[in-house]
Structure 1
Amino acid sequence: MTSAPEPEPGSAADVVRSWDARADHYLELFRDELEGKPHDLALLAGFARRIGPGGRVLDVGCGPCGHVAAALDAHGLEVTGLDLSPRCVELARRERPGLRFELGDQRAPDLAALGGRFDGIVSNYSLHDQPKAMLHGTFAAWAAALRPGGRLLVVTKEGAADGVASDPLGSGIAVYWAEFRAEELAAAAEAAGFTVERLADRAPYEQEIASQRLYLEASLPEKSGLDASRRAP
C-alpha cells in the first residue's frame, strides 16, 4: 500500500498536519503566555477599546490555547476563534468552554457560517505557517471579512525566513516557517485597502524566541454617508 503524499509545504493541508501534531505541545508551553507579556496585554486592551463593547472580533489562527480570545472577551468583545487544525479547535474549546471556536481558514473565512462580517480581526502569529507569497491574498481576505471601519491587529516575528524548517517551538517536526519585515506587512495591508495607523516593534522577552516582534494596527475606511444612502433599502 502506498502512503498518502505529503501536503504541499505552507498549504492549508500542511497547516492541519503540523498543528494537529504539535497542538498539545504548544498548549503546554503557551497556555498562560500573556501573563508574562505586559506589552501585548496593553495592545489587546487598546484594540478592544477602539472596537468598543459588544464588537464582533475574529481571532484568526487562534491555536489551542484560546488565550487571545479570552483576553479580548474580558474587555467585552464578542470573540470567535478560527483555526484550520481540528486538534487546536478541540483543545481551545476545552480550555475556554465559555468562548466560541470554529474550524476554518483565515485565507477564506466562511462568513455565512461565522455570522457575517466582523468589526475587528486579530492575527497573533498566524502568518508564520504560510509562504510570504500568500501575504497579499491573506490581507485581502481579512479586508473582505471586515465591516467598513473595521480594525486589524497583526503580530508577527521579524525576519527573512520563508520555507520549511525544524519547528522553532521544539516539537521535533518539520513545519513551514515565515518571518516578515515591517515594509512587507505595510505593503500588503495598504494593497488590501487598509490604512496603516501604527507599525511598531519590540525586543523579545527573556522567555521568548529571540526574534524582534512586529505589530501592525490598521483600519478600513468608513462607508461614506452618500454611499450608505445609495445602499439603503
Structure 2
Amino acid sequence: MPEHACRAAVRESYDTLAADHAASTPDGLDPLSRAMPADFAETARTADRGPPADLGCGPGYVTAQLAAPGVPAYGVDLSPRMVEPARRAQPHLRFTVGSMTALDIGDGGLGGALAYHLTRHTPPELLPVVSAEVQRVLAPGGHLMLAGRAGEDEHVYPERAYGGRPVSFGLHPVPAPRIAALVEEAGLTVTARLVQERGAGAKRPAATLLAQMPGRR
C-alpha cells in the first residue's frame, strides 16, 4: 500500500474509533511494560537533551506518565479525533497532529521518542521510513523507547474494531529482532530489550526496545 494511502486509512479509522478507543484503553500498556515509561522519563529528565515526544500518543495516557516526573513531554498522533480526548483529559500537556513518516520536528529536536503500538499499522516496506524519521528528529545521545505487539510478519486487515466500528487499516506485527535491526540500521544503538512471550498474560508476544542515538552521553 502506498504511504499516503496507508496514512489515510489509519487516520480515518482512528477518527472513527476515537471515543471507543479512549474508553477501552485506560493506560494502553501491557502489564510487563508498565514500569518502562517511568524509567524512560527519568532517563530523559536527567539527560536534558530536549523534550521527549510520545509518538502515536492516542488518548495521551502514556504521555501523561512520561510527563509525570516533571518532564516537558508532549504527544503527537496522526488522528485529529484521537488528539481531542487527549487534550481534554490532560489540558496541561501539549498534543499535536502529525505523521510518523514526516514529523513537524526539526533535525535533532527531540531528547527522546517513545512509541507504543505505533509500528503495528505500518506495512513492512515503510518501516525503514519510520526508523529513519526517528533518527532524524533525535538529538545526539537521545533515547528511543519502542514497544508493542510482536509477530511473525503477519498481515491482517480487520473490518471492524473497538465497539464494532468499521476500519480500513492493516495490522502488521513483525518479529522483535526485525524491529531491532531496523533501528540499528538507522544508526541507533539498541541498549535493552524486554519480551513478554505469548501465554505470559498476553495473547501474542509483546516487546519493548530501548535504543540511543550516538553522540554526547
TM bucket (normalised to shorter chain) is: 0.7 to 0.9
Corresponding residue number in structure 2 for 1:81: 75
State whether residues 25 and 171 of structure 1, in contact with CA within 8 Å, keep that contact through their aligned partners in structure 2: no
Cα pair 1:59 1:82 within 8 Å, conserved:
yes
Moved more, 44-53 or 89-98: 44-53
In 2, Cα distance between equivalents of 1:33 and 1:102: 19
1:157 and 1:169 mapped to 2: Cα distance?
A: 17
Q: CA deviation at 1:33?
A: 4.6
Structure 1 residue 39, shift from structure 2 partner = 3.1
How far apart are residue 223 of structure 1 and its match? 4.8
Q: Indicate if the aligned counterparts of 2:76 and 2:95 stay in contact, CA closer than 8 A.
A: yes
Residue 14 (str. 1) matches residue 14 (str. 2): no
Please state if 1:29 is matched with 2:46: no
Quick check: 1:141 aligned with 2:136?
no
Q: TM-score, normalised by structure 1?
A: 0.82
Please report how far the alpha carbon of residue 132 of structure 1 lies from its aligned counterpart in structure 2 after TM superposition.
Answer: 1.3
> Bigger CA drift: 43-52 or 96-105?
43-52
Match of 2:38 among 33, 45, 61: 45
How far did residue 136 of structure 1 move?
A: 1.1
Deviations along 1:105-127, one digit per CA (max 9) or x if unpaired, are: 11111115xx9700000011111
Higher RCO, 1 vs 2 (CA within 8 Å, ≥6 residues apart)? 2
- Quick check: 158-167 or 70-79, which moved more? 158-167
2:186 maps to: 192
Counterpart of 1:180, as a letter, is V
Q: Does 1:179 align with 2:179?
A: no
Alpha-carbon contact 1:22-1:171 (below 8 Å) kept: no
Q: Secondary structure at the match of 2:144?
A: strand
Deviation by residue 1:63-103 (Cα, 9 ceiling, x = unmatched): 1x210000011122111100111101111101111110001
SS of 2:119's equivalent? coil
> Matched residue pairs, number?
212
SS class of match (2:91)? coil
Task: Assess if the C-alpha contact under 8 Å between 2:54 and 2:73 holds in 1.
Answer: yes
Is the Cα contact below 8 Å between 1:10 and 1:130 reproduced in 2? no
Cα deviation, residue 156, structure 1: 1.6
CA offset at residue 38 of structure 1? 5.0
Give the C-alpha shift of residue 32 in structure 1. 3.8
1:228 is aligned to none
1:196, 1:218 within 8 Å by CA — same for their partners in 2?
yes
Structure-1 separation of matches of 2:145 and 2:157: 26
Q: CA RMSD in A?
A: 2.5
Structure 1 spans left out of the alignment, 5+ residues:
1-6, 225-233
Letter of the 1:58 partner, please give it.
Answer: A
Q: 2:33 touches 2:208 (CA, 8 Å); kept in 1?
A: no
Equivalent position of 2:51 in the other structure: 56
